[in-house]
A and B are shown apart, each in its own frame.
Chain A
Amino acid sequence: MIFESESLVVRFARGRPPALDGVSMRVPSGSLYGVLGPNGSGKSTLMRALLGSVEVESGRADVDGTPARDWNRRELARAVGVVTQSEGIAFPIRVRDLVGMGRYPHLGAFEPEGAEDRRAIEAALRECDVEMLADREVSTLSGGEFQRVRIARAMAQRPRALVLDEPTASLDIRHEMAILKLLRRSADAGLTVLLITHNINLAARFSDRLLLLREGRVAAEGTAGEVLREEILEAVYRWPLAVQPDPVTGEPTVTPLGD
C-alpha cells in the first residue's frame, strides 16, 4: 500500500491559517515511515487527511492512488489498521473483545467469528505481548497496557498498512522497543507503516524515511541522515541541540542542550 499526498492543504475554519499548507509526501509500499514535528505541526492532521477523516481544501491525499473517501469503507478498514492517539471507552469491555473488534471489517452484520478470526486475534494478542491480559476488563489496564491492546486490535485486522499516532508515548523502554521492533518486522514483511512519534532518535533508528513537519509545511524529508541535522532541527523545534552519531548504534542521535 502507498500513502501519498501532493500540495495538500487542509484548513479547519475559513480565515484561519491552514493546518496543512502544501504538504507533498510519499510512503513507499513496505516501508516504515516516521513523521516528526513539534506539537501542532500537523502530524495528526496529515494522518487524518490521508485516511479521509478531514476535508481536503486543495491538493491530493491518496491511499493507493485513490482518496480515502472514494474507497469502500470496509475495504479500506480491511486494508489499513489505525491506532489513534487516544480513545475513551464508554462501557466495560474485555481485552479480547476489544481486540476482536479488529475483525469487524471482515465480518457480516450477524456473522460470528470464525476460526481464521480467532487465529488473527490470538496472534495479535501474542505479538503485542498482551495474551495474559486477554480476559481483563479494559478499564483495569495501565496506560501502556491499554496502548498495546489497541495496537493488537490494529494487528488483528491483518491489514496491509498500519497508521499509528504516537503509539509508544506512554510505554516503558521494554514495551516501546518491542512495539518498534514489531513495526519494523511488519514493514520488512511487506506492510506499509506510517508512524507519528515524538521520539526522534528511535524514529531515526527504525524508520526507512522521515518526514519533519513545521507549522503545516514540510521542513525536511528523507533518510535519518538527511533529516537529523542540527540547523534543521534547531529551527523546527526552536531549541538548541546537538546531533552526533550514537556511540553504540552509529545512528545520528539528537541531544537537546540545556540553558
Chain B
Amino acid sequence: MSRTWSRPVVALLGLSLAAVLVVLASIRFGAVSLTTSEVFSILRGGGGATDRFIVLSLRLPRAALAILVGGGLALSGAVFQALLRNPLAEPYILGISGGAAFGAVVVLATGWMSVSSVALPIAAIMGAAIAILLVFGVAFSADRRMDVRVLLLAGVVVGAFFSACIALILSLADAPTVRSAVLWMMGSLSGASWRGVAVVATYTIPVALLLLTLARPLNLLAIGEETAAYLGTDVERAKRLAYGAASVIAAAGVAFAGVIGFVGLIIPHGIRLILGADHRFLLPLSFIAGAGFLALADLLARTVVAPAEIPVGVITAFVGVPFFLLLLRRSLGS
C-alpha cells in the first residue's frame, strides 16, 4: 500500500540488527558474564566446558525461545487485532491462556510433573486446544459462517470459565503448588531447552509464514467483511485461517513460556504507529520487534536482581508500558 518500500525496509533492517545485538548480549551477560571474544570463540566451537554449557545449553536455547515466543506473540496479537477489528485484542483474548494455564495447573497440582518433564507443556497445549476448539465451535454458526463478535464474546467467557477452574484447584492446593502455579502464569523462559525450542519452532515458523500470505486479506478485513468479499477475498477462509494460525502460535508459546503479557498487545500497535496498518509490513516487523523485545525483557529479568529472577511478564510491562504510552502521546501530538 505504501508508495515507497524504503521506510519499511529501513525499519526491517534496523529492528533485525537490534534483535541480533540483544541476542548477543543475552548470551554474554548473566550470573556468569563472558567477554564478546569468549562468546564468539564458543560459538565457533572453542571455550571451556562450563562456559560452553552455559552458552550452548542454557543461554542460547533461552534466547531462541525468547525470539520464537516474543515474535509469535506479537504476530499473533497483530492478527487478532485485525480479525476482531479491535485494538484491545491480544493473543490471550480468546481464552487460550486460560485453557493453557488450566492444563498447567492440573499438572502442578497433581504432581504429574514428576512423571515427565514434558507433562506440563503437553497439558498446557491440550488446555489451549480445548479452549480454541470450544470458542471456534460456538462462533461457527449453522450457516457455516464465523461471526467475530461471537468469537470475541465466546473467547472471553471461555477464558473466565477456565480462570474459575484454576481458582478452584488452587484454593484446594498447598502453598508450594500455588506459588509455582502463580509463577508459571506470570510467564518465564527459565525452562528453555533445545527440545522445547524445536517444538515451538515447529509450530511457530510454518504457521507464521502462512500468516504472511494473509497480509492483504487482513488489510481488507480491517475495513469490513462485506467490502473485503467484494474485493475478491474469501472472507470465511481468511477468518478461519487467521484465527487458527494465530491461536496455534499463541498456544505453542504459552505452553513453553507461560503467560507473557503486553508483547502481543503493544508491539503491533507500536509498529502501526510508526509504519501504518499495512499488514504486509506490520506482520513481519511485529515478529522481529516482538522477538527482540522479549529477548531484551528476558535478559533484564535474569540480570537485574541476579542470581534471582524477576518474572519476564513484569519486565515486559515495566519496559513496554511507558514506551508505549510515550509513543501514543507522540502520535497524538503530530
Establish whether residues A93 and B220, one from each chain, have CB atoms under 8 Å apart when the complex forms.
Answer: no
- The reply on A82 being an interface residue by CB < 8 A is yes
B266 at interface, CB cutoff 8 A: no
* A104 CB-CB contact with B under 8 Å: yes
Tell me the smallest distance from the CB of A97 to a CB of chain B, in Å.
4
- Give the one of B5, B230, B276 with max A CB within 10 A: B230
Q: Is there contact, CB below 8 Å, between A73 and B233?
A: yes
Query: Interface of A with B (CB < 8 Å)?
Result: 51, 53, 55, 73-74, 76-78, 80-82, 84, 87-94, 96-98, 100-102, 104-105, 107, 109-110, 112, 118, 157
Residues of B within 8 A of A107 (CB): 216
User: Which residues of the partner chain B approach A109 to less than 8 Å between Cβ atoms?
Assistant: 213, 215-216
For residue B224, CB closer than 8 A to chain A, the reply is yes
8 A-B pairs within 8 Å (CB atoms) are namely A77-B232, A87-B224, A90-B85, A97-B1, A104-B231, A105-B231, A105-B232, A109-B216
CB distance from B228 to the nearest CB of A (A): 9
Contact at B229–A87, with CB atoms within 8 Å?
no
Residue B278 at the chain A interface, CB threshold 8 Å = yes
Assess whether B232 is in contact with A89, with CB atoms less than 8 Å apart: no
Cβ contacts B226-238/A at 8 Å (1 or 0 each): 1101111110000
Closest chain A CB from B90 CB (angstroms): 15
Contact B232 A78 (CB under 8 A): yes
By a CB distance below 8 angstroms, the chain B residues around A110 are 213, 280
CB < 8 Å: which of A51, A84, A102, A104 contacts B216? Answer: A104
Interface string of B189-233 (1 = CB under 8 A from A): 000000000000000000000000101100110111011011111
B81 to chain A, nearest CB (A): 8
Query: What residues of B have a CB within 8 angstroms of the CB of A73 in the complex?
Result: 229, 232-234
Whether A80 contacts B230 by the Cβ 8 Å rule is yes
Within 8 A of A (CB), among B22-62: none
Residues of A within 8 A of B240 (CB): none
CA distance A259 to B195 in the complex (A): 82
Interface flag for B181 (CB, 8 Å) = no
Residue among A84, A91, A98 having the largest count of chain B Cβ atoms under 10 Å = A91
How many chain B residues touch A (Cβ–Cβ < 8 Å)? Answer: 31
A142 to chain B, nearest CB (A): 18
How many angstroms from the CA of A82 to the CA of B223 in the assembled complex?
14
Q: Is B82 an interface residue (CB 8 A)?
A: yes
Q: Is the CB of A90 within 8 A of B216?
A: no
Q: Which residues of A contact B229 (CB under 8 A)?
A: 53, 73
Which 8 A-B pairs have CB atoms at the shortest separation, nearest pair first?
A77-B232, A97-B1, A105-B232, A82-B230, A90-B85, A91-B277, A74-B232, A87-B224
Q: Are A84 and B223 in contact (CB under 8 A)?
A: no
B223 contacts A90, C-beta separation under 8 Å: yes
Contacts of B272 in A (CB 8 A): 91-92
Q: How far is the CA of A101 from the CA of B280 in the complex (A)?
A: 13
In whole angstroms, what is the CA distance A96 to B143 when docked? 36
- Quick check: A101 and B231 within 8 Å, CB to CB? yes
A220 to B223, CA, bound (A): 36
CB distance from A74 to the nearest CB of B (A): 4
The complex places the Cα of A101 from the Cα of B226 at a distance, in Å, of 14
Instruction: Determine the chain B residues whose CB is within 8 A of the CB of A84 once the complex forms.
Output: 224, 226-227, 230
- If the complex has contacts A78-B232, A92-B272, are A112 and B5 also in contact, measured as CB distance less than 8 A? yes
Bound form: Cα–Cα A94–B86 in Å: 19
A104→B216 CA distance, assembly (Å): 8
Contact residues in B for A101 (Cβ distance below 8 Å): 1, 219-220, 223, 231
Q: Is B244 part of the binding interface, using a Cβ–Cβ cutoff of 8 Å?
A: no
Q: How far is the CB of B288 from chain A (nearest CB, A)?
A: 17
- Which residues does chain B contribute within 8 Å of A51, judged by CB atoms? 230
Query: With a CB–CB cut-off of 8 A, which chain A residues contact B330?
Result: none
Q: How far is the CA of A220 from the CA of B1 in the complex (A)?
A: 44
> Knowing A92-B276, A93-B277, A100-B1 touch, does A87 contact B232 (C-beta < 8 A)?
no
Query: How far, in Å, is A80 (CB) from chain B's closest CB?
Result: 7
Measured CA separation A89–B219 after assembly (Å): 10
**Complex interface residues of chain B between 269 and 295 (CB less than 8 A to chain A):** 272, 276-278, 280
Q: How far is the CA of A105 from the CA of B233 in the complex (A)?
A: 8
Cβ of B224 and Cβ of A77 under 8 Å apart? no
- Assess whether B276 is in contact with A76, with CB atoms less than 8 Å apart: no
Nearest B residue to A87 via CB reads B224
Interface residues of B in 137-193 (CB under 8 A from A): 143
Report whether B224 and A88 are in contact in the complex, using a CB–CB cutoff of 8 Å.
yes
User: Which residue in chain A gives the minimum CB-CB distance to B269?
Assistant: A91
- Assembled-state Cα–Cα distance A90/B89 (Å): 12
B276 contact set on A, CB distance < 8 A: 92-94, 97
Choose among A78, A93, A96, A105 the residue that contacts B223 (Cβ–Cβ < 8 A).
Answer: A93
